[in-house]
Amino acid sequence: MILRREILKAFGLLGASTALLQSNPLQALQTIADKQQALQTIADKQQAASDYKGLVCIMLNGGNDAFNMVFPDTSHPEYQNYMDTRQTLAVPNYVSQPQYLANKGDERYSKQLLPIMLRDVNGEQHALTFHPGMTGLQALSRDQQVAVIANTGVLIEPGSLEEFKQSQKSKPAFLFAHNQQRKAVYSGIADNNVTTGWAGHMNELPRFKHGLRQGKPKAVLPMGISFRGSNQWLRGQQTMGAVLAPGKPGKIIGLGEQGNKRQQARTATVQALQSLPSDDVLLRLMRGKLTSAQDLAAVLTQLWTKHGKALAEIEAMFDDGKLSRQLAAVAQTIFLRESLGMQRQVFMVELGGFDTHAGQIDKQPLLLAELSRAITSFQQALASFSLTKQVTTFTASDFGRTLTSNGNGTDHGWGSHQLVVGGAVQGGLYGQWPSMLRGGVDDYRSGRLLPTTSLTQTNASLAAWFGASKSEVNTLFPNLINFPGGALPLFKNV
């Protein structure tokens, strides 16, 4: 077990010599060997910075209606089908209605349609539109930093509409159930019976688990970090991601000598348990976990104190939205990557409220605007420390929603659109834009679209960009072999 003092010393939180190395590496060094070591330290940090990659999953909890997040513009061949099928839910229809809150003076809402032009892998241009309020994502799209994955979803194998309807192809179990489909999304293998996730398995690959550079300080944090509670996506066979709270350094909730009487009593009890001599396996395990957590809390608190001004400047780039707070914390953690010894990190954040069976016209515009603002601020923060090409953000959701209205919203669907954002992303449209006609060639049942691109194909591309080898990608995503197109070519240099 790494002792607290050893952790603090390893990352420059004890003693003045390390601080001197960071501010003026050659000052006060007397020997040639010391100078050579200092130069090597600088080279190592530069190498670590160039090797760094981060992956951020934004879970749109509840099942986002992405058919109104990105939809056909007037010149698109599916525009009229979109308008006819969605009727009062079609964005161009409802933004002009008196009851739409933007038309009642509510400044939180916007009614300005945001056209974009996306090129697909065959070079064909697609005239599409972002939902009003997503001005930041429109700008990022024009800068070629946004990929739209069209009509994607959980698929075990590809097949025609008729093959799926006749049960000649395997479908995910419990297709339209929230909890079951989230499990399938996180698993990476379209399986709702597993409790682990593909990011957790990726983090346990030898190249990541044992570090990208041999002989360098061990990372303090695990690779996986959630700012929205414990999450299956980050869970591997032997490891779990860290759970941190945005807006403050990590701490052990409920413990503290300066807290209330309950906290003081709880802290005294834990200290007593840690001091008891025992060969009990469970007690030793508990001690190890508590000590590791205390070590981590100490490191994060010291770093927050040391870099308080810079971290506050990052936080000021974001608004007070729930997703913005989480992505601000992600940006702050990435900023501290070198002090934490991190070269690879995966993050889970979440925005809820997308289960819009009712009140969709009032609810979804605010959620999509928040999504756009948060991602835009995050990209600006990354740009401030020159990491836009080394961090990729993508959206996920339980499932899509029906093209058709239930009268006041939409119901659970299957296929949907997702976003991948970053400086390394080859912006454009990926997958096949669906027929948006009710009863059309992509309508699996009652306006629920059959996905034509598997999430597996997107996930495989993300893992390969992150650094997994071809054989490792195939191990992480055994269903990939079922899809002739393989991983989507989402990145410029992969």
Structure letter (DSSP) for residue 131: P
Structure tokens of 48? 């670590």
CA–CA separation, 316 and 148 (whole Å): 29
Q: Which amino acid is located at 144 in the chain?
A: Q
Question: 371: closest CA among 394, 398, 348, 389?
Answer: 394
Contact of 146 with 420, CB cutoff 8 Å: yes
Question: 152: closest CA among 434, 464, 479, 480?
Answer: 434
CA–CA separation, 25 and 411 (whole Å): 61
Question: b/e map of 50-77 (b: 16 or more CB within 10 Å)?
Answer: eebbbbbbbbbbbbbbbbbbbbbbeebe
- What are the residues whose beta carbons fall under 8 Å from the beta carbon of 253, sequence distance 6 or more? none
Q: Which pTM value belongs to this model?
A: 0.86
Predicted local distance difference test score (pLDDT) of residue 45 = 47
> Cβ-count burial of 276 within 10 angstroms (0-12 exposed, 13-18 middle, 19+ buried)?
exposed
* DSSP assignments along 386-431, one per residue: T-TTTEEEEEEES--B-SS--SSS--B-S-EEEEEESTTB--EEES
CA–CA separation, 56 and 63 (whole Å): 18
CA–CA separation, 487 and 458 (whole Å): 6
- Give the ranges where 63-150 is alpha helix by DSSP (H): 79-86, 91-94, 135-142
Contact of 401 with 356, CB cutoff 8 Å: yes
Predicted local distance difference test score (pLDDT) of residue 493 = 79
CA–CA separation, 12 and 101 (whole Å): 53
416-421 and 391-397 strand pairing: antiparallel
- Give the ranges where 52-120 is alpha helix by DSSP (H): 79-86, 91-94
Predicted local distance difference test score (pLDDT) of residue 487 = 98
For residue 9, the surrounding DSSP H or E stretch is helix 4-10
Q: How many CB atoms lie within 10 A of CB 183?
A: 25
Q: What is the pLDDT along the chain (494 residues), one digit of tens a residue?
A: 333 443 333 333 333 222 222 333 334 334 545 544 544 444 444 444 468 999 999 999 999 999 999 999 999 999 999 999 999 999 999 999 999 999 999 999 999 999 999 999 999 999 999 999 999 999 999 999 999 999 999 999 999 999 999 999 999 999 999 999 999 999 999 988 899 999 999 999 998 876 554 445 567 788 999 999 899 999 999 888 888 889 877 665 555 556 678 878 877 877 777 777 777 777 777 766 666 676 777 788 889 889 999 999 999 999 999 999 999 999 999 999 999 889 999 999 999 999 999 999 999 999 999 999 999 999 999 999 999 999 999 999 999 999 999 999 999 999 999 999 999 999 999 999 999 999 999 999 999 999 999 999 999 999 999 999 999 999 999 999 999 999 999 998 76
Contact of 85 with 447, CB cutoff 8 Å: yes
Predicted local distance difference test score (pLDDT) of residue 274 = 73
> What is the total residue count of the chain?
494
Partners of 477 in the β-ladder: none
CA–CA separation, 134 and 115 (whole Å): 11
Predicted local distance difference test score (pLDDT) of residue 204 = 94
Predicted local distance difference test score (pLDDT) of residue 298 = 79
Structure tokens of 441? 């060639």
Predicted local distance difference test score (pLDDT) of residue 4 = 41
Domain locations in the chain as residue ranges: 54-243+307-482
Q: How many CB atoms lie within 10 A of CB 210?
A: 10
- What are the residues whose beta carbons fall under 8 Å from the beta carbon of 317, sequence distance 6 or more? 328, 331, 377, 380, 381, 384
Predicted local distance difference test score (pLDDT) of residue 418 = 98
Q: How many CB atoms lie within 10 A of CB 306?
A: 16
